[in-house]
Amino acid sequence: MDERPIGVFDSGLGGLTAARALAEILPGEDLLYFGDTGRVPYGSRGAEVIRRYARQDAAFLLGQGVKAVVCACGTVSSVAGEDLAAGMDCPFIEVVSPAARAAVGATRNHRVGVIATAATIASGRFPEAIRSLDPEAQVLARACPLFVPLVEGGHIAPGDPIAGPAVAYYLRELRDWGADTLVLGCTHYPLLAPLIRDYLGEAVRLVSSGEEAAFTTRALLAERGLLSSRTKGGSSRYFVTDPGGSFAAVAEVFLGEPVNHVAPVEIGSLERLELQGR
């Protein structure tokens, strides 16, 4: 048994969907969440910048004494996941592989849609991971750059006059193509799931990359004997690089409960960190 916390990081707020899933399936675990809200978004940045930021984010969590690191960011997982895995001695969980496994298990007609940020789609990692598991799979991947600001702006309710047309605009091709499974490759996107279901229909199965990463985390920690001895009572602490932003208010929308224990992290101190390779 291991009572150290699980570390979760994202470029901003989206990874809170993974943190929420972890808290639900592992209620006895302590969680440390780091959101790089001062340098968000990552999805429109170049690959080298994303890799550098990702190494610093992971190094920060390792410095807090976590027993595992969950990269709850589709962009970082796609662009820098292998780089991060090579630099850690503790369990490292990204969101691409778990979501790909779930999508392959869910699809009936081998037509899988993927929606994510521009950087994630450009990396090609989701189609690659899906086809490696199912060579018959056809994958249609599309970037949905407006979804993140819509979620953070609170436009998530069914019938929303702004989000509804955006969902139709981005998903029309996937619907007409006949995908029966859709991977939500950005951890913001599950908050738009009700609108997406309304548009695509209940027959299309939605795969939440953050939730699948949480299930993988539980399995990996159990396999390595790293689960907490507690079955309830876990706590959550939050770190952000823009303490003057609206993190607490928006995070409450993601988590469904008030957010306390939010601590600032200076970007300058973060940039002095570097993930040490094995």
The active-site residue, picked from 71, 90, 144, 186, is: 186
The answer to whether the bond into 194 is cis (omega within 30° of 0) is no
The active-site residue, picked from 71, 73, 90, 144, is: 73
Q: State yes or no: is 73 an active-site residue.
A: yes
Q: State yes or no: is 90 an active-site residue.
A: no
Residues with a known catalytic role: 73, 186
